[in-house]
Structure 1
Amino acid sequence: MEEYPEYLYHYTSIETLALILKYKTFRLRRLDLADDPEESLTSDYGNLGRFCLISCWTSMSEESLPMWQMYSKDMKGVRIKLPTFIFPKYWMGENIHQNSSKDGYKEVLLGNSFYSYINPEDFFKKGCSVIAMQENILTKIQYTEEKDLLYPSVFKQVGNGIVLETGKIGIYKHKYWEFQQELRYMIFASPWNKNDILHATPESHIALFNRFKTSNLPFEYVDLKVDERKFEDMTIRLGPKVTEAEKVIVQSLVKEFNPSAKIEDSVLKVR
């Protein structure tokens, strides 16, 4: 079983911190909008990363000048520290076997009752679908220069059906990104709605999979609620160039929205 650090760190702006504190959510944005424009590409199915939603974190407990420069404005942002696995699980067992003609898609998608980090119904409302996930949605990024891993082949013909190995997407980056020591929360969404799944036939599968070539998600991001108890165990480190006025703003935000959070000054000295 893969081991994960106890805490993770997220660099961002004070403006974004305000939204995180107010709504107790973190935003997962499409992979093709991330800092590395190549990592959403495949060798055989184009830009499949546009169906992958991610929130990027690092395992580095030491402050990083490159991270401050890349992900906060003029090093005047913040670094949020939170326990690993910040998203709660949802019980996916109620009414699974009731009204099968109406809700049969649940049985197909979910099988037996269990807890999931994702509620598929939330994505059906957005016009797409996801698979309920019992395992955590956190992935360690691997750094490599192997082309087969950076630009994976994802298409497979299995009998008369088609399989896309979406698990190959969003887990490899070029070695020059290794300084990030990145972990990311990640969800893969498909461009199919509830009716597409309910009325799917063997003949319609090819048309459905072709949407990965021609369609897009009807949104650029999703906001996921954070586990309340873990949210309270938050430490906010101020950027090296944060002004006294900006520090007061952060203190006010914390006092109103998450008074148990700790605030720290940066240990870095920069002009």
Structure 2
Amino acid sequence: MANLLYHYCSIETLELIMKNKTFRFSSLGVVDDMEESMTSDYEDIGKICFVSCWTDLEQESVEMWRTYTGGVNGVRIGLPRNFFSAGLNENEIFNISAEVGNKNDVYISPPLLPPNRPELIPVTYTEDDYLINLSVVKMGNDVCKKCGNETSNFNIDTKYLGRFKRNYWSGQSEWRYRLIAVPQQYYRNNQSGKYLKGKPEEMVELMRSDLINMSFNNDYIDFPFNENVFEEMEILLSPLNSKEDNDDVKYILEKYTSLTDFELKSSELKIRK
């Protein structure tokens, strides 16, 4: 398994990445494959899964140059697979996750389990409709051993969200960094006792309805990384770039990084605009 993963983007996006030291995670509710946010029993709850999309294909892809760079100009960034945690200890990674969650008014899950960073997963390509439209709801009723009162039990199994796509996407050979983010309002409702004020079956339905209808401040989350990873970064220039575009890439790296010795690789492709 090669150490590097690759991310295609425009030069404008490269500048934002270098300037802010973040990569953008998009909700499955806005990615190009509209099936990804849908489940068999909970509508489009996949929108709580946020992903940053990469590929393990070392060979250049004409499709990706055109699709993910805007078809005008761009770069392909190569970084080590563990770059989100590189140079950081466990407490630092946990604090970053908490800060990102508070900024976006979401709880990022799982916040307390190692490695406390975005989870890296390979996308599995399939024609199995069961995997494409997963069942995610687990619900029932519990009885309190102390007071005998019946309470609602409602959970969403998120571990497979964002892991499966149909075979016709397989040319992307995609890997993803994944975050599960639930609006904090849902937890504030829970803490206030909103879901304890009625019959268990009614409360389960209320929890379900609230979570489906809740909105996010943004349909993306910008997650930071340690700029030390720049020392291991590889930049490949798009075959669609002009000389001015390539000069802009060099300027961006000089302005926003401390790199003094970096190599900009030229594409081996010849593509007519």
Normalised by the shorter chain, which TM-score bucket?
0.7 to 0.9
1:10 aligns with 2:2: no
For the 8 Å contact 1:90–1:118, the answer to whether it is kept is: no
Counterpart code for 1:134: P
Counterpart code for 1:129: Y
Give deviations 1:52-92, integer Å, cap 9, x for gaps. Answer: 11110000111011111111132521100111122135645
Which of the residues 156, 177, 183 maps onto 2:175? 183
Give TM-score, length-normalised by structure 2. 0.82
1:203 aligns with 2:196: yes
Instruction: Give 1:127 shift.
Output: 2.6
Instruction: Give 1:266 shift.
Output: 0.2
Counting matched residue pairs gives 247
1:81 aligns with 2:78: yes
For the 8 Å contact 2:100–2:223, the answer to whether it is kept is: no
Distance 2:195 2:74 in 1: 51
In structure 2, stretches of 5+ residues that fail to align are 143-152, 198-202
In structure 1, stretches of 5+ residues that fail to align are 94-114
Aligned counterpart, 2:146: none
Instruction: Give 1:186 shift.
Output: 1.0
Instruction: Give 1:5 shift.
Output: 3.5
Aligned counterpart, 1:129: 107
Residues 247 and 12 of structure 1: is their aligned pair in 2 closer, same or farther, counting only changes over 3 Å?
A: same
Distance 1:213 1:16 in 2: 31
Aligned counterpart, 1:192: 184
Residues 134 and 158 of structure 1: is their aligned pair in 2 closer, same or farther, counting only changes over 3 Å?
A: farther
Residues 60 and 154 of structure 1: is their aligned pair in 2 closer, same or farther, counting only changes over 3 Å?
A: same
Counterpart code for 1:79: R
- 199-208 vs 238-247, greater mean Cα deviation: 199-208
For the 8 Å contact 1:51–1:216, the answer to whether it is kept is: no
Aligned counterpart, 2:271: 270
Give TM-score, length-normalised by structure 1. 0.82
Residues 67 and 23 of structure 1: is their aligned pair in 2 closer, same or farther, counting only changes over 3 Å?
A: same
For the 8 Å contact 1:238–1:266, the answer to whether it is kept is: yes
Q: What's the secondary structure of 1:45's corresponding residue?
A: coil
* Superposition misfits of 4+ residues, deviation over 6 angstroms: none
Counterpart code for 1:15: E
Instruction: Give 1:200 shift.
Output: 5.0
Percentage identity across aligned positions? 32
For the 8 Å contact 2:139–2:155, the answer to whether it is kept is: yes
Q: Give matches, 1:13-162, under 5 Å.
A: 13-74=10-71, 76-88=73-85, 91-92=90-91, 116=94, 119-131=97-109, 132=111, 133-135=113-115, 137-160=119-142, 161-162=153-154
For the 8 Å contact 1:78–1:238, the answer to whether it is kept is: yes
Aligned counterpart, 2:222: 223
The alignment's C-alpha RMSD in Å is: 2.3
